[in-house]
Structure 1
Amino acid sequence: MAEDLHWLPAVEAVRRLRDGELKLAEYVEALIERTERLARLNSYISHEPDLVRQSVKNAPKGPLHGLPFALKDIIDTADLPTTASTPALRDSRPRRNAPIAQSLLDAGGTLMGKQALGELSFGMTGNNPVFGTVRNPYREDCIPGGSSGGTAVGVAAGLVPAALGADTGGSCRIPAALCGCVGFRPTHGRYDGRGVVPISSTRDTVGPLARSVADVRLIDGICAPSGTGSAGTVDLAGLRLGVPRGFFYDGLDPDVAAATESALSALAARGAVLVERDVPDLERLNEAASFTVVLYEVGRELSAYLYQHSSPLTLRDLVGRVATDQIRETLESLLDEDVVPGAEYRAALAVHRPALRAAFAAYFAENDVGAYLVPTTPLPARPHRPAGEDRTVELNGKDVDTFLTYIRNTDASSTAGLPCLSIPSGLSRDGLPIGLELVGPDSSDARLLAIGEAVESALPPLPHPPL
């Protein structure tokens, strides 16, 4: 019975807890035991079983009825450090919970711990010289994706039924795709972003990960403002879905291509209308705004976070102790010069990003599609390489940039602030998960989640990881 508890869907767990069919202490103990047994995955940075057990005794009543959850370790909590997986913040103890964390606690959730990430939310591979290597539960010698890698691993491995990650350019969806779970990026501004270690306030958002769309909808119902909830159910028959093959479908790993085409065929067989139209000039529009915004904002916003937390650290102190060479080099380049001039940044916000958003809006309106479908990533998880050698991965016989390749299909929608959802679409020949991303119009979150649940129902479920 205890083993079965690890795979309980969050919605079902809440029902059983509410109806008295499941004791919260028993459920939590099963998850603690599994976490300890699978500690080699290195999903958690902070996990204190005695603290969890104590919280169960004092669990407030609420719609989650004690449901266990976890947080990416950039979301502030008063009872556990917020390290952002970087050495300088190892002992950082915020004075209060981030509002988004407090909303889950107030709803009766039980915090299981804080989960590992690519350092300062930049890393893609799960390698960290100080906090260790995060391992993909489907193949432990492979990367989990990033930056919310520990969050995806914890959910996919059955250590916790649901968790909050965060997403700037794909950080919820990419690890969800590589680890075989569901990752949701809400419309920018839908969730409260205060008390979260930032990269870019105009791009960052917290986002839930779980093992089904229904479970993500449950968490979204707690995190989103009241009145923006469920859109009910959606029938695939007659539903128009975009398939923008240009750019998104170029140069795919053969297994990703095959899984995606199989998913599209399954949707068509259920009556979905697949509209093969591209988003015009997408790559150029995104390039004009994407990294310009991030590189201008990151230093300023990390400094502001340190100041707001009364930290004795300066930005230079923080950057000087970054453990991952590539991330430290990037941040050091921002310390002494304006890599992005202010005029370019203002143009990105006032001109280029509005042009990108207008292109997306026109695409959805002119083609009358509720969402478009693309492979979440161009390739599945690749084997871990030693730190310093993981800047590239192999794709179709060539070594390509790890970070840029994995974010290729997720970045433009992030820049535009659109709601996005990654769901599992199949396995590679090596048994590694592959993701299908759905992107909807601005502020169509509830509708997109309903579409996602319908799409999910048409696809075969993944087997649990062979742990």
Structure 2
Amino acid sequence: MTATEVVGAIARGELTALAYLTSVLERAAERADLGVVVALDPDGARTAAAAIDAARASGAPLGPLAGLPLLVKDNINTAALPTTGGTPALRDVRPTSDAEVLARLVAAGAIVVGKSTMHELAFGVTTTNLAPGAAIARNPYDTSRIPGGSSGGTAAAIAARIVPAGLGTDTGASVRVPAAFSGIVGLRPSTGGGRRRYSGAGVLPLSHTLDTVGPLGRTVRDVALLDAVVTDGPVPAAVELAGLRIGTPAVLWNDLERPVAAVMHEARRRLAEAGVVLVDADMPEALALAEKIVFPLALHEPRDDIPAYLRETGIEGITLETIAAGIASPDVRGAFGAVTADAFGDAYPDAIAVHRPRLQQTYAAYIAEHHLDAILFPTSPVLPAPIDAVNGSGTLTVDGGPPVDTFTTTIRTVGPGSCAGVPSLSLPAGRTPAGLPVGLNLEGPVDGDTALLAIGMAVETLLGSLPAPPGR
């Protein structure tokens, strides 16, 4: 069942919240091999589910998410479970309240069933966490491959039918890449407007400029349902595809792995047949500008943002330095070395005051000049990499070529939109002949999230959802 189907069935009395929760806990035990769940709260979840069933039996009104179990990334504060960030120094951190975004979902009746595996400190795209006692998350469509990161635990759990929905976080790609690699849907909400769509309060940060919580689910409607609760807005209806103008900038379509290109070009063909006007206009500056923004922000802002989070969460005796000293994953240790050395301190002022505004202007002008409803491109130019259980990220080989860096290659297409702060939605485009999911990404103007979700619903109706992964 999708998240929308679950809350509908509970509201109608066709399913009890406790019965459904029991099935979720059973499924989590069955798929422990995937390494996607780091902590469960079965007693607290059962108590919440029983309260929802009692409320319905008494005729009390139910919230729009009543009975919906969620898996929450382990850098989002939860009152009932530790929030470790997947790193040893924070292993015993117990926040006293839920993060603001999560609290809105819980107030609407959602149930936090557990915390999900994440890339250590969210500094990666594989969710191969090499900290002692941590799990290496696996892709349910091919368990030898990554599910994407850093929110790979949540995405893989949804794909494996453990939970119907959950929360991740996205700094440069960390909701949408896991959604693409796991064959589900993920939204990165707007961050580039005058007011951020989602609050970052109660979330272990990297960059206050780039970070955002993002919902994940099996369908666009599921993600739109969570988004509507967080924002107190509407769940949109799907638009008509015929007549939509969607840009396909070559800079985000170049150098695709061959199976990705095949799936994406078939998706383009079907969209064109449905009446979508595909506008082949380029945005040549996008990648170059993003390269001047992402690392100066993501590797400079943690110096202030992480200590601020520690203070606001009431965490004593832990500093940025103690966190750095305890990092276990080699790829994260290397990246965090740049943070503690402030390697990008000199580049930061221009990144935030010159290059980011220029990229935002580039996006706005591109959409306005070509009268676009959305922008379309592959969520990642490559397929999910094989798991590297030694380095955490390492390298991958594309179409038999020389090894390339897994991190920068995987996030290449979604990076510019992250830096510009536009809303960005990944949904399944299809699968390769080998059965691996390929993600299609849609972006729209800043604060155009609801309209983008409506377009995503229409595209999903045309292309369809993916079948469940093989195995148990």
Question: Normalising to structure 2: TM-score of the pair?
Answer: 0.94
Indicate yes or no: 2:90 matched with 1:89.
yes
* Match of residue 444 from structure 2: 440
How many Å separate the matches in 2 of 1:382 and 1:350? Answer: 35
* Match of residue 252 from structure 1: 256
SS at match of 2:144: coil
SS at match of 1:425: strand
Superposition deviation, residue 231 in structure 1: 4.1
Superposition deviation, residue 55 in structure 1: 2.3
Indicate yes or no: 2:10 matched with 1:31.
no
Superposition deviation, residue 125 in structure 1: 1.8
How many Å separate the matches in 1 of 2:257 and 2:207? Answer: 31
How many Å separate the matches in 1 of 2:268 and 2:142? Answer: 26
How many Å separate the matches in 1 of 2:209 and 2:15? Answer: 42
- Is the CA contact (8 Å cut-off) linking 2:36 and 2:135 kept in structure 1? no
How many Å separate the matches in 2 of 1:334 and 1:65? Answer: 41
- Is the CA contact (8 Å cut-off) linking 2:164 and 2:217 kept in structure 1? yes
Superposition deviation, residue 331 in structure 1: 1.2
- Is the CA contact (8 Å cut-off) linking 2:39 and 2:115 kept in structure 1? yes
SS at match of 1:408: coil
Give, as a single letter, the amino acid of the residue that structure 2 aligns with 1:143.
Answer: I
Indicate yes or no: 2:200 matched with 1:200.
no
- Residues 24-423 of structure 1 correspond to what in structure 2 (within 5 A)? 24-59=17-52, 61-129=62-130, 130=132, 131-188=134-191, 189-224=196-231, 226=232, 228-245=233-250, 247-308=251-312, 309-335=314-340, 337-341=341-345, 344-388=347-391, 390-397=393-400, 398-423=402-427
How many Å separate the matches in 2 of 1:119 and 1:57? Answer: 34
SS at match of 2:96: coil
* Match of residue 59 from structure 2: none
How many Å separate the matches in 1 of 2:234 and 2:63? Answer: 17
Q: Which moved more, 1:380-389 or 1:348-357?
A: 380-389
Cα 1:389–1:49 shift into 2, 3 Å: closer
Q: Which moved more, 1:445-454 or 1:42-51?
A: 42-51
- Is the CA contact (8 Å cut-off) linking 1:42 and 1:150 kept in structure 2? yes
Superposition deviation, residue 259 in structure 1: 0.3
How many Å separate the matches in 2 of 1:161 and 1:271? Answer: 32
- Is the CA contact (8 Å cut-off) linking 2:75 and 2:85 kept in structure 1? yes
SS at match of 1:296: coil
Query: Which 5+ residue runs of structure 1 have no aligned equivalent?
Result: 1-7
Deviations 1:415-461 (A, max 9, x none): 01110000101112221110000011111000000000001111143
How many Å separate the matches in 2 of 1:118 and 1:242? Answer: 32
Q: Which moved more, 1:377-386 or 1:400-409?
A: 377-386
Give, as a single letter, the amino acid of the residue that structure 1 aligns with 2:381.
Answer: P
- Is the CA contact (8 Å cut-off) linking 2:129 and 2:392 kept in structure 1? no
Indicate yes or no: 2:426 matched with 1:425.
no
- The aligned length equals 455
How many Å separate the matches in 1 of 2:136 and 2:260? Answer: 25
Cα 1:436–1:460 shift into 2, 3 Å: same
Deviations 1:369-404 (A, max 9, x none): 111110000111122123227410111222100100
Cα 1:230–1:48 shift into 2, 3 Å: closer
Identity of aligned residues (%): 43
SS at match of 1:334: helix
Give, as a single letter, the amino acid of the residue that structure 1 aligns with 2:88.
Answer: P
How many Å separate the matches in 2 of 1:120 and 1:363? Answer: 34
Query: Which 5+ residue runs of structure 2 have no aligned equivalent?
Result: 56-61
SS at match of 2:339: coil
How many Å separate the matches in 2 of 1:100 and 1:281? Answer: 34
Deviations 1:307-360 (A, max 9, x none): 22232111111111011012112212332x331235x32222221111000000
Give, as a single letter, the amino acid of the residue that structure 2 aligns with 1:453.
Answer: M
Give, as a single letter, the amino acid of the residue that structure 2 aligns with 1:361.
Answer: A
How many Å separate the matches in 2 of 1:63 and 1:280? Answer: 43
SS at match of 1:58: helix
How many Å separate the matches in 2 of 1:80 and 1:370? Answer: 41
SS at match of 1:78: coil
Deviations 1:262-283 (A, max 9, x none): 0001111111111100113112
Q: Which moved more, 1:293-302 or 1:372-381?
A: 293-302
Deviations 1:221-264 (A, max 9, x none): 1112x3x434433100111111112x211111111000000000
SS at match of 1:35: helix
Superposition deviation, residue 123 in structure 1: 2.2
Give, as a single letter, the amino acid of the residue that structure 1 aligns with 2:439.
Answer: G
Give, as a single letter, the amino acid of the residue that structure 2 aligns with 1:123.
Answer: G
Superposition deviation, residue 299 in structure 1: 2.2
How many Å separate the matches in 2 of 1:116 and 1:447? Answer: 31
- Is the CA contact (8 Å cut-off) linking 1:230 and 1:447 kept in structure 2? no
- Is the CA contact (8 Å cut-off) linking 1:299 and 1:331 kept in structure 2? no
Give, as a single letter, the amino acid of the residue that structure 2 aligns with 1:204.
Answer: D
Give, as a single letter, the amino acid of the residue that structure 2 aligns with 1:382.
Answer: A
Deviations 1:97-121 (A, max 9, x none): 1111110110011111111111101
Give, as a single letter, the amino acid of the residue that structure 2 aligns with 1:262.
Answer: E
